[in-house]
Amino acid sequence: MKKIILLIIILFNLNYTFSYSNNDLYDKIDLFGEVFEKVKKDYVDEVNQSEMMDSAINGVLQSLDPYSSYMSPEIFREMQTDTRGEFGGLGIEIGMEAGVVKVISPIDDTPAANAGIKAGDYIVKIGSSQVQGKSLMEAVKLMRGPVGTSIELTIKRKNVKKLLKFKITRKIIEVKSVNSKILGNKKNLGYIRLKSFNENSDKQFLKAVKEFKKNSKIKGYILDLRNNPGGLLAQAINITDIFLDNGEIVSTKGRKSSETRKFFARKGDETKGKPIIVLINNGSASASEIFAGALKDHKRAIILGENSYGKGSVQSIVPLSNGGGMRLTISKYYLPSGDSISEVGVAPDILVEEIGEDFKINTKSDNQLNYALDLFSS
């Protein structure tokens, strides 16, 4: 009964009435109770009523968008607990698409990336557990485990007929978000790879730019955001601001006035207007899309690579009365042009798809980076 009450609370909290009158909504709630009782009484196998209710609650949330989901009290506690040094991960950012877990991006130099997991892969099985029907948080829980232990992921990859299997060993995921070096035949291009928008990414990024400024030969920049799953909105704004002299960076719009805001660049382009190429791919999401989209709209950079992921929304963690919680989308991002990123992403100015089975970012096989280098040399 407590689970049914919780479901009703969520329905009302979400204003999940659509075009129904209150009487219609009550009729639907009665109908749900009838279905629940029929399943409990007549279904071919005995059902776990608590798990069934969790699935129903999660179904309400996941029907809204791929990023809203329910967390049981157990999962919610685990998400809030500091398990540093005890539990390991695989190094992938995941989301939901049509009830299936989809890889948004593998993070550089993590077990998943090193094993060959790619952005856009669909996770069919985690170990022996089928993923279909599980919530995003349940999938995350299955992938976590003690450092040094292994898990097998079964993957469905676009344009590959057979299912792929990857055995991956968990480890503590520590991401250094910024790497930089000088590239080009004449050693005159500043290359910065941004892997995520973490708490101190802006300071690391600005430090790299200032180091390049000391080199009088630097004539342009290549900013690599491929397989960057995003992160903090404030970091996206601060890093984009490094390259703009003025103008809007991004806006957020939600139902509440507090979630509707605009963010603008402050005066001062740290690179003094030098040319920029931004590399993106299907694994560039969220904050990466804000960065690439803003520079594209302001015609401050050439965007090269593949269409980005299309995650243009902000989630909030909401505690619930049963000790669980829900991840709920509360606003969406909009680029300076007014375009939404959601489910669309940012289209490159120059489409360059990755080529070859041996393709690896920032190596000799990286045809996208090589294309960018050729543009500067032409």
* Shared domain check, 160 and 59: no
* Shared domain check, 223 and 327: yes
Residue 7 counted as domain residue:
yes
173 confidence band (pLDDT: 50, 70, 90): confident
Amino acid in the structure at residue 286:
S
How would you classify the pairing of strands 189-194 and 248-254? unpaired
Q: What pLDDT is attached to residue 211?
A: 94
> Does 208 have pLDDT greater than 70?
yes
* Shared domain check, 303 and 186: yes
Cβ 123 vs Cβ 101: under 8 Å: yes
Cβ 251 vs Cβ 263: under 8 Å: yes
Residue found under tokens 């969406």: 332
Residue 77 counted as domain residue:
no
- The pLDDT of 151-174, averaged and rounded, is 92
- What the block records as the tokens of 286 is 């969220």
Q: What pLDDT is attached to residue 350?
A: 98
- The pLDDT of 339-363, averaged and rounded, is 92
280 confidence band (pLDDT: 50, 70, 90): very high
- The pLDDT of 271-287, averaged and rounded, is 95
- The pLDDT of 327-343, averaged and rounded, is 92
Q: What pLDDT is attached to residue 86?
A: 41
> Does 288 have pLDDT greater than 70?
yes
- The pLDDT of 136-163, averaged and rounded, is 90
Q: What pLDDT is attached to residue 83?
A: 36
* Shared domain check, 335 and 218: yes
Tell me the range of 5-9, 184-188, 301-305 where mean pLDDT is highest: 301-305
Residue 323 counted as domain residue:
yes
How would you classify the pairing of strands 129-130 and 122-126? antiparallel
- The b/e string for 63-84 (b: 16+ C-beta within 10 A; e otherwise) is eebbbbbbbbeebbebeeeeee
- The sign of the torsion formed by the CA atoms of 26, 28, 33, 38 equals positive
Whether 286 is a known active-site residue: answer yes
Cβ 367 vs Cβ 349: under 8 Å: no
* Shared domain check, 253 and 371: yes
- The pLDDT of 363-370, averaged and rounded, is 94
> Does 210 have pLDDT greater than 60?
yes
Q: How many domains does the chain have?
A: 3
Residue 76 counted as domain residue:
no
Q: What pLDDT is attached to residue 137?
A: 79
Q: What pLDDT is attached to residue 223?
A: 98
> Does 15 have pLDDT greater than 80?
no
Q: What pLDDT is attached to residue 40?
A: 87
* Shared domain check, 373 and 238: yes
Residue 327 counted as domain residue:
yes
Residue 72 counted as domain residue:
no
* Shared domain check, 249 and 213: yes
pLDDT in tens, 213-233: 988 789 999 999 999 999 889
Mean pLDDT of the chain: 87
Distance in angstroms (rounded) separating the CA atoms of residues 220 and 268: 17
pLDDT in tens, 47-79: 888 888 888 888 888 888 888 888 888 888 776
- The pLDDT of 111-116, averaged and rounded, is 92
* Shared domain check, 350 and 262: yes
Which one has a higher pLDDT value, 29 or 43?
Answer: 43
- What the block records as the tokens of 185 is 């035949």
> Does 146 have pLDDT greater than 70?
yes
* Shared domain check, 225 and 92: no
Q: What pLDDT is attached to residue 82?
A: 37
Whether 105 is a known active-site residue: answer no
Q: What pLDDT is attached to residue 24?
A: 79
> Does 87 have pLDDT greater than 80?
no
Which one has a higher pLDDT value, 104 or 306?
Answer: 306
Which one has a higher pLDDT value, 369 or 1?
Answer: 369
The residue segments making up the domain with residue 231 are 178-377
* Shared domain check, 231 and 134: no
* Angle between helices 73-80 and 136-143 in degrees, nearest 10: 60
CATH code of 365's domain = 3.90.226.10
Residue 74 counted as domain residue:
no
Contacts of 375 (CB under 8 A, 6+ apart): 277, 302, 304, 350
Q: What pLDDT is attached to residue 11?
A: 58
> Does 20 have pLDDT greater than 80?
no
Q: Which of 68, 284, 286, 313 is catalytic?
A: 286
CATH code of 126's domain = 2.30.42.10
Contacts of 4 (CB under 8 A, 6+ apart): 32, 33, 36, 53
17 confidence band (pLDDT: 50, 70, 90): very low
Q: Which of 297, 308, 331, 366 is catalytic?
A: 297
* Shared domain check, 218 and 308: yes
Q: What pLDDT is attached to residue 251?
A: 96
159 confidence band (pLDDT: 50, 70, 90): confident
Residue 26 counted as domain residue:
yes
* Shared domain check, 349 and 236: yes
- The pLDDT of 305-320, averaged and rounded, is 91
